[in-house]
């Protein structure tokens, strides 16, 4: 599979403030790639470096196989970008802004603008200044997709959108994805990443802590245990290798487990239990696990 | 070209207001001349009693205020101030406003290089400045001509306008240069006008104190003064070369620094 984005040891520091450190990951052609981490972890910094709005301190990145700084104008022909905070020229009308945006791409986008505006329920005749945050976001979405880009980069795209519009937007993304577009989707909301993405990179304090398939993260690695015991247990009874997020509350024990299941099962069989639940953890819990583990 | 036309549209209203301002300045300035010259008293006698400092500040200097051209020379100082304030603010804003208004995440992700964005913006600013200059030229020739009583002044006005244009270009390039170097977009405009004010005060100080005359090379307000330029004096080649050199250097700074630095997003 061809890589659309290749990030190679990318580092960006702003004086004293931490930016991103030594980030490396690839996004393959045709996938929806999630980029997840809390606010301030470095998601936007990474994306802005890819778009050459800011320049890396060291390391490099390639998009469509070309250096993202040197060939910036060329590769941007095929990139659609939705920033996390949308700001446009206040005195313009929506349609004027979209036409201005379209004028940078050498193709006729009039039809596509109409289609997208209809899907996103956007009034083209309003002034940008009069739009609410959610409606500005819709302008951003239409603006990012109107030239049918091969790579769509979204930075926290759903903030400000109501649930119905989020739904429409996800359907729109899935349609673009089916047409062959690659998507880099940055977010701090796990459920939307879980729903859309094939793979995910988790970023924490400027460093990548994991790059994995969503399915691997969810199914293969972790089990969520909750055990009701008949007698109170020693707090450290289940504290063995592979256990994390251990919570002991009188006769209830819960934890995440990664490793050989037999070792846990033996431990469980040695005590009198009243009930036991073994679940697939949702992404949120795995995510917290990454953060708690290294805190 | 789309960026150029977008900028032209953005600055259209402000250019119209500035043009009305120039016209009013010329009209009201010259009508004062009409009032004073018809009062019978020689204005030169009046001015002779004025303290030197006051004369320097209002820009009278050694001009012959009994003639329309001399009075125009006085008026020119105010036109020059207006034109350079306009140019400095335009230069600083046209570069920094994308970052100030946070629209850089729109414009700078389009498939155009930073250099070509700068070129379009500089061309738009240049067009605005040329129009400003032409409006000043035409309104001066038409209105001063009303009072000239046959004195041939069109040539004198034209040559001061060449000086005006060089000063406009110089302050515009100071504006764009500062906006390109500074990462804080909001400060570019105020810093540019600050420099303008400082060099203007310096030029007044030089008029008051002959000992610091050597400093005239660092204040553009001393480069093309009407009393030197008019009446066949022409533009001083030293100052022409000096301004053109600075303009070229500052445009170079604008391109190089803006291309290299992180955008403020």
Task: Assess whether pLDDT exceeds 90 at residue B56.
Answer: no
B113 at A interface, C-beta within 8 A: yes
A144 vs A32: CA distance, rounded Å: 16
CB contact (8 A) between residue A104 and residue B104: no
Name the DSSP letter for residue B262: P
Q: Tokens for B55?
A: 């004369």
For the segment B205-234, the average pLDDT, to the nearest whole number, is 85
Residues A67, A40 contacting (CB under 8 angstroms): no
B108 at A interface, C-beta within 8 A: yes
Which residues 6+ apart lie within 8 Å of A148 measured at CB? A112, A176, A179, A181
CB contact (8 A) between residue A103 and residue B2: yes
Closest approach of chain A CAs to the CA of B112, in angstroms?
Answer: 5
CB contact (8 A) between residue A104 and residue B113: no
Closest residue, chain A, to B102 (C-alpha): A87
Closest approach of chain B CAs to the CA of A142, in angstroms?
Answer: 13
Q: What percent of chain B has pLDDT over 90?
A: 58
pLDDT of residue A295: 46
Residues B183, B261 contacting (CB under 8 angstroms): yes
Range(s) within chain A of domains with CATH label 3.30.70:
223-279
Taking a contact as any Cβ pair under 8 Å apart, which residues of chain B between 34 and 73 contact chain A? none
CB contact (8 A) between residue B111 and residue A76: yes
Instruction: Please identify every stretch of chain A with a pLDDT value under 50, giving residue numbers as ranges.
Output: 295
Q: Model confidence over B30-40: pLDDT tens digits?
A: 888 777 766 65
For the segment B203-207, the average pLDDT, to the nearest whole number, is 88
CB contact (8 A) between residue B103 and residue A83: no
Q: Point out the residue among B105, B108, B262 whose CB comes nearest to the CB of A55.
A: B262
Residues A80, A151 contacting (CB under 8 angstroms): yes
Closest residue, chain B, to A102 (C-alpha): B110
Alpha helix (H) ranges present in chain B?
Answer: 2-38, 43-48, 52-58, 68-100, 104-107, 114-147, 154-181, 185-208, 226-229, 237-260
Q: Point out the residue among B105, B110, B116 whose CB comes nearest to the CB of A83.
A: B105
Task: Assess whether pLDDT exceeds 70 at residue B176.
Answer: yes
pLDDT of residue B186: 85
CATH superfamily of A3-86+147-217: P-loop containing nucleotide triphosphate hydrolases (3.40.50.300)
B262 at A interface, C-beta within 8 A: yes
Q: Model confidence over A1-56: pLDDT tens digits?
A: 689 999 999 999 987 777 899 999 999 999 999 998 888 889 999 999 999 999 99
Tell me the pLDDT band of B209, cut-offs 50, 70 and 90: confident
Closest approach of chain A CAs to the CA of B101, in angstroms?
Answer: 7
ipTM: 0.85
Name the DSSP letter for residue A148: -
pLDDT of residue A267: 84
Closest approach of chain B CAs to the CA of A75, in angstroms?
Answer: 7
pLDDT of residue A241: 81
> Burial of A114 by CB count in 10 Å (0-12 exposed, 13-18 middle, 19+ buried)?
middle
Identify all chain B residues contacting A51, using CB atoms and an 8 Å cutoff.
108-109
Residues A228, A252 contacting (CB under 8 angstroms): yes
Identify all chain B residues contacting A74, using CB atoms and an 8 Å cutoff.
111
pLDDT of residue A251: 83
pLDDT of residue B259: 93
Query: A223-279 maps to which CATH number?
Result: 3.30.70
Closest approach of chain A CAs to the CA of B124, in angstroms?
Answer: 17
For residues B49 and B119, the model is more confident at: B119
Closest residue, chain B, to A98 (C-alpha): B106
For residues A287 and B88, the model is more confident at: B88
Q: Point out the residue among B109, B116, B262 whose CB comes nearest to the CB of A81.
A: B109
Closest approach of chain A CAs to the CA of B9, in angstroms?
Answer: 11
For residues A188 and B78, the model is more confident at: B78
A54 at B interface, C-beta within 8 A: yes
For the segment B178-187, the average pLDDT, to the nearest whole number, is 89
Range(s) within chain A of domains with CATH label 3.40.50.300:
3-86+147-217
A83 vs B105: CA distance, rounded Å: 7
* Three-class secondary structure of residue A93 per DSSP: strand
pLDDT of residue B88: 96
A112 vs A146: CA distance, rounded Å: 6
Identify all chain B residues contacting A87, using CB atoms and an 8 Å cutoff.
101-103, 105-106
CB contact (8 A) between residue A55 and residue B104: no
Q: Point out the residue among A54, A55, A73 whose CB comes nearest to the CB of B113.
A: A73
Closest approach of chain B CAs to the CA of A113, in angstroms?
Answer: 17
- Nearest Cα to Cα of residue B29 among B84, B101, B86, B77: B77
């Amino acid at each position: 599979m061809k890589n659309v984005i290749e990030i190679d040891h990318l580092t960006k520091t702003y004086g004293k403030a931490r930016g991103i450190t030594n980030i490396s990951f690839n996004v393959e052609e045709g996938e929806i790639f999630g980029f997840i981490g809390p606010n301030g972890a470095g998601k936007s910094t990474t994306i802005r470096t890819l778009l050459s709005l800011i320049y890396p301190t060291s390391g490099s990145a390639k998009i469509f196989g070309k250096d993202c700084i040197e060939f910036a104008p060329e590769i941007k022909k095929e990139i659609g970008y939705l920033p996390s905070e949308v700001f446009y020229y206040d005195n313009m009308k929506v349609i004027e802004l979209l036409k201005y945006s379209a004028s940078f791409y050498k193709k006729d986008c009039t039809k596509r603008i109409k289609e997208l505006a209809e899907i996103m329920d956007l009034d083209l005749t309003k002034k940008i200044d009069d739009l609410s945050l959610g409606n500005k976001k819709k302008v951003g979405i239409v603006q990012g997709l109107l030239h049918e880009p091969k790579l769509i980069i979204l930075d926290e795209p759903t903030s400000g959108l109501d649930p119905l519009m989020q739904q429409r937007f996800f359907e729109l993304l899935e349609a673009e994805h089916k047409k062959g577009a690659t998507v880099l989707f940055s977010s701090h909301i796990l459920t939307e990443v879980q729903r859309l993405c094939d793979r995910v990179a988790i970023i924490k304090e400027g460093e990548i802590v994991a790059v994995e398939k969503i399915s691997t993260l969810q199914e293969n690695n972790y089990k969520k245990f909750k055990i009701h015991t008949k007698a109170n247990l020693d707090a450290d009874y289940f504290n063995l290798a592979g256990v994390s997020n251990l919570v002991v509350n009188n006769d209830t024990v819960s934890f995440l487990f990664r490793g050989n299941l037999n070792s846990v099962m033996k431990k469980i069989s040695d005590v009198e239990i009243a009930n036991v639940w073994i679940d697939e953890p949702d992404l949120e819990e795995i995510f917290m696990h990454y953060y708690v583990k290294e805190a | 070209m789309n960026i150029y036309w977008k900028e032209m549209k953005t600055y259209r209203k402000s250019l119209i207001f500035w043009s009305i301002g120039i016209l009013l300045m010329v009209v009201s300035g010259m009508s004062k001349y009409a009032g004073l010259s018809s009062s019978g008293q020689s204005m030169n006698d009046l001015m002779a009693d004025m303290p030197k400092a006051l004369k320097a500040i209002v820009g009278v200097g050694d001009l012959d205020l009994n003639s329309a051209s001399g009075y125009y020379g006085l008026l020119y100082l105010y036109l020059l101030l207006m034109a350079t304030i306009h140019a400095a603010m335009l230069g600083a804003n046209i570069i920094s406003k994308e970052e100030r208004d946070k629209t850089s995440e729109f414009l700078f992700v389009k498939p155009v290089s930073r250099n070509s964005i700068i070129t379009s913006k500089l061309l738009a600013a240049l067009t605005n400045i040329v129009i400003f200059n032409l409006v000043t030229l035409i309104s001066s020739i038409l209105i001063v001509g009303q009072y000239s009583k046959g004195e041939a002044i069109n040539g004198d006005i034209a040559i001061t306008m060449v000086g005006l244009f060089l000063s406009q270009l110089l302050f515009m390039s100071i504006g764009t240069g500062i906006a390109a170097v500074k990462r804080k977009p909001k400060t570019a405009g105020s810093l540019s006008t600050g420099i303008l004010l400082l060099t203007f005060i310096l030029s007044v100080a030089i008029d008051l104190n002959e000992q610091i005359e050597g400093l005239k090379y660092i204040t553009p307000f001393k480069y093309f003064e009407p009393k030197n330029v008019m009446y066949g004096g022409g533009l001083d080649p030293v100052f022409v070369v000096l301004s053109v050199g600075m303009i070229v250097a500052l445009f170079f700074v604008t391109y190089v620094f803006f291309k290299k630095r992180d955008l403020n997003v």
